Chain A
Amino acid sequence: MSTTAKQNGLVKWIDSRLPIFTLLDHSVGSGYPTPRNLNYFWNFGSLAGVTLIVMILSGIFLAMNYTAHVDHAFNSVERIMRDVNGGWLIRYIHVNGASMFFIVVYIHIFRGLYYGSYKAPRELLWILGVVLLLLMMATAFMGYVLPWGQMSFWGATVITNLFSAFPIVGEAIVTLLWGGFSVDNPTLNRFFALHYLMPFVIVGVVILHIAALHQFGSNNPLGIDAKSDKDKIPFHPYYTVKDLFGIGVFAIIFAFFVFFAPNFFGEPDNYIPANPMQTPPHIVPEWYFLPFYAILRSIPDKLGGVLAMFAAIGVLAVLPWLDTSKIRSTKFRPVYFWFFWLLVLDCFVLGWAGGKPAEGIYVIVGRIATAYYFLHFLVVLPLLGKLETPKPLPSSIAAAVLGSGAAPAGARMEKP
């Protein structure tokens, strides 16, 4: 892009005064060198970015027709579904987009865990990712309250009540969240205001996340640094076109849910208007919170549960220092390979247990899975880095991809 674009006089004039074209070129253009061997798991970052944009756009149109008042919220959403032109489409995009966002980001995170993308020198990039996850969770939680159905109300009641577990400040925090003494109209109003604000905070952190990414460039499936030009190709056109293809596949899956199973991820109870006098038989959060919900309920003590839940995310933030292995990619870590998949399985088990009533065998399974989750990060990872014998690393990306000594075919990273 850069070479042709910069020949244009107007572009040149602007770029010399405000280098936005250079910025673009260095971010997603031919001026950004990228490892030549990225696989399709490297598509999920751009998919998360696209989903974020879709969420913001659909959200703005919803907000134009939504009423943040306990007496009108539920019916205003139904008005959007029935009387606003294309309203059902916008709402179903936004609702399913939230689930798509979490699917994409969870895969994005496990990609990082598998290929060791959190290791030096990408620790801050990873931590910004964890911050994004927290922000997304807060945003999704507050968004779910807005339609003011039964699960909105009771989910909000249960989750906000958790903060009362903290000694001394707990009650004050809860009162502040509620804007009163129970989940009520002030709660709905402040949640709406924050739900509108947070996505833009996310945009800001995403910009930092990308800035950190570009400092050292992407990691890659081999986990070794891209050194020579032979190891790299320009982002554009190679990864722009590959990302575009990924977006196409993603859009098909997304559209399938929007048009043919729009309530698949949803909870039927949320089509019942909120009723503070009637507790639903099972209060369950949205599916993407279930693993954390399971951890919360596994600890018999309320404060302990809350701390464990936050620790489950906090432990990710310090992961770069818990994992003592210098080898990034699991490809060269024969033992960690199995522990990685065990962790994936463990997260599914947690999700499953989180959706079940807190009784009998479900609690036991939840506890074992919770214990294993922390064991993985706090015990297995520190020890494994010391005990495991990794497989030999290839000398370079080009050598591994093209066969050692082979002359590099085709494009390589040229200095722009």
Chain B
Amino acid sequence: MLKKLVLAAGLTLGLVSGGLISGGLVSSARAAGDAAPLPNQTWGFHGVFGTYDRAAAQRGFQVYKEVCAACHSLSLVSYRNLRDLGFSEEEVKAIAAAYKVTDGPNDVGEMFERPARPSDRIVKPYPNEKASRAANNGAYPPDLSLMNKARVGGPDYTYALLVGYEKPPADVQLLDGQYYNKYFPGMKIAMPQPLNEGQVTFADGTPATIANMSRDVTVFMNWAAEPELEKRHRLGVQVILFLIVATGFFYAAKRRVWADIH
């Protein structure tokens, strides 16, 4: 019986992993679109016990707020969500209050402006896509809420893109408003290099190198894309441990019941 079990498990795994491998090949092919292969990074939020580094995510929020937010919206995140990153209620209120939102209509039917509240979504830099294209040479800076899930390579891609600006090789012709970035599909991107040495000042004294800022903003963006990640990992460990124990009991019961058959 055990031999059969091993055989069955082996065949099943073979079929499944064969499927997975061909699946994997599929996605890597899709990434192609003429770009350099992404270097693998290690992230604290990867792995079974992965969590977000709060300090890095807070610094990353600062980078987003002071740099990226000039062009990119983050429309699925509310100010109140920032509490997850370790900001206090007061801090969140203060962060929100620095922005204005249009509300209304009021009792006399007019729209009015008020400071943002923690329950508001993070305020967009442009009222709509047309306005953002008009301000960016016709290019559209996409919303960053799901960016880390919406590209092959996820956080590795975001990081590579931010540090990947280079002088174009001699044979590459760039049009006005195009920049050379070997990790962007096609290698010509409409986003000017967003980060430069010392662009922000971190309160905790972390040097604002391009690599540091890029890493931190990538951690922040990953949280924005997968805010449930820590809960998911924690619950996952519990559920799987429980299932392993239960399955062990089921196997013991099966052996017991079948004992008289062999």
A43-79: which residues lie under 8 A (CB-CB) from chain B? 75, 78
Quick check: A263 and B149 within 8 Å, CB to CB? yes
| A391 contacts chain B at the CB level, 8 A cutoff | no
Contact of B22 among A40, A242, A352 (CB under 8 A): A352
A15-44: which residues lie under 8 A (CB-CB) from chain B? 36, 39-41
- Residues of chain A within 8 A (CB-CB) of B154 are 268
A255 to B238, CA, bound (A): 11
A88 to B149, CA, bound (A): 14
A107 to B142, CA, bound (A): 41
Q: Return the chain B residue nearest A353 by Cβ.
A: B22
Quick check: A409 and B262 within 8 Å, CB to CB? yes
| A194 contacts chain B at the CB level, 8 A cutoff | no
Quick check: A356 and B29 within 8 Å, CB to CB? yes
A256 to B227, CA, bound (A): 19
Separation in Å of the B35 CB from the closest CB of chain A? 11
- Residues of chain A within 8 A (CB-CB) of B29 are 282, 355-357
Separation in Å of the B138 CB from the closest CB of chain A? 14
A73 to B236, CA, bound (A): 28
Separation in Å of the B223 CB from the closest CB of chain A? 12
Contact with B along A247-267 (1 / 0, CB 8 A): 111011101101110111101
Separation in Å of the A391 CB from the closest CB of chain B? 19
Interface residues on A, range: 35 or more
- Residues of chain A within 8 A (CB-CB) of B168 are none
Interface size on B, residues (CB 8 A): 57
Contact of A255 among B149, B239, B258 (CB under 8 A): B239
A36 to B261, CA, bound (A): 8
| A313 contacts chain B at the CB level, 8 A cutoff | no
Q: Return the chain B residue nearest A150 by Cβ.
A: B150
A285 to B26, CA, bound (A): 11
Contact with B along A237-252 (1 / 0, CB 8 A): 1100110110111011
| B151 contacts chain A at the CB level, 8 A cutoff | yes
- Taking A88-B228, A260-B48 as contacts, is the C-beta distance between A110 and B15 under 8 angstroms? yes
Quick check: B149 and A287 within 8 Å, CB to CB? no
B145-161: which residues lie under 8 A (CB-CB) from chain A? 145-146, 149-152, 154
A contact face: mostly helix, strand, loop, or mixed:
helix
| A125 contacts chain B at the CB level, 8 A cutoff | no
| B76 contacts chain A at the CB level, 8 A cutoff | yes
Q: Count the A-B residue pairs with Cβ separation under 8 angstroms: how many?
A: 145
The stretch from B54-62, B66-74, B85-93, B249-257 touching chain A is: B249-257
- Taking A282-B30, A410-B261 as contacts, is the C-beta distance between A245 and B251 under 8 angstroms? yes
- Residues of chain A within 8 A (CB-CB) of B151 are 268
- Residues of chain B within 8 A (CB-CB) of A393 are none
Quick check: A290 and B257 within 8 Å, CB to CB? no
- Taking A263-B149, A348-B22 as contacts, is the C-beta distance between A258 and B243 under 8 angstroms? no
| A281 contacts chain B at the CB level, 8 A cutoff | yes
- Residues of chain B within 8 A (CB-CB) of A82 are 76, 81, 227-228
Contact with A along B1-39 (1 / 0, CB 8 A): 000110111011001101110110111011001000000
- Residues of chain B within 8 A (CB-CB) of A267 are 27, 30
- Residues of chain B within 8 A (CB-CB) of A281 are 30, 33, 185
Q: Return the chain B residue nearest A266 by Cβ.
A: B149
- Residues of chain B within 8 A (CB-CB) of A233 are 261
- Taking A40-B9, A348-B22, A352-B25 as contacts, is the C-beta distance between A245 and B250 under 8 angstroms? yes
B140-184: which residues lie under 8 A (CB-CB) from chain A? 142, 145-146, 149-152, 154
Quick check: A348 and B236 within 8 Å, CB to CB? no
- Residues of chain A within 8 A (CB-CB) of B243 are 248, 251-252, 255
Extra contacts, 18 of them, besides A82-B76, A88-B231, A287-B23 (Cβ < 8 A), are A40-B8, A40-B9, A103-B16, A107-B15, A242-B258, A245-B250, A247-B250, A255-B240, A259-B236, A259-B239, A267-B30, A271-B146, A272-B142, A281-B30, A282-B30, A351-B19, A355-B25, A411-B260
List 10 tightest A-B contacts by C-beta distance, closest first: A259-B236, A355-B26, A248-B247, A410-B260, A40-B8, A271-B150, A245-B250, A88-B228, A271-B146, A271-B149
Listed by A's residue number, 17 A-B pairs whose Cβ atoms lie within 8 Å are A40-B9, A82-B76, A88-B231, A106-B15, A238-B257, A241-B250, A241-B254, A245-B250, A255-B239, A259-B233, A268-B151, A272-B150, A282-B29, A287-B19, A352-B26, A355-B22, A355-B25
Residue ranges of A at the interface with B (Cβ–Cβ < 8 Å): 36, 39-41, 75, 78, 81-82, 88-89, 92, 103, 106-107, 110, 233, 237-238, 241-242, 244-245, 247-249, 251-253, 255-256, 258-260, 262-265, 267-269, 271-272, 281-282, 284, 287, 290, 344, 348, 351-352, 355-357, 409-411
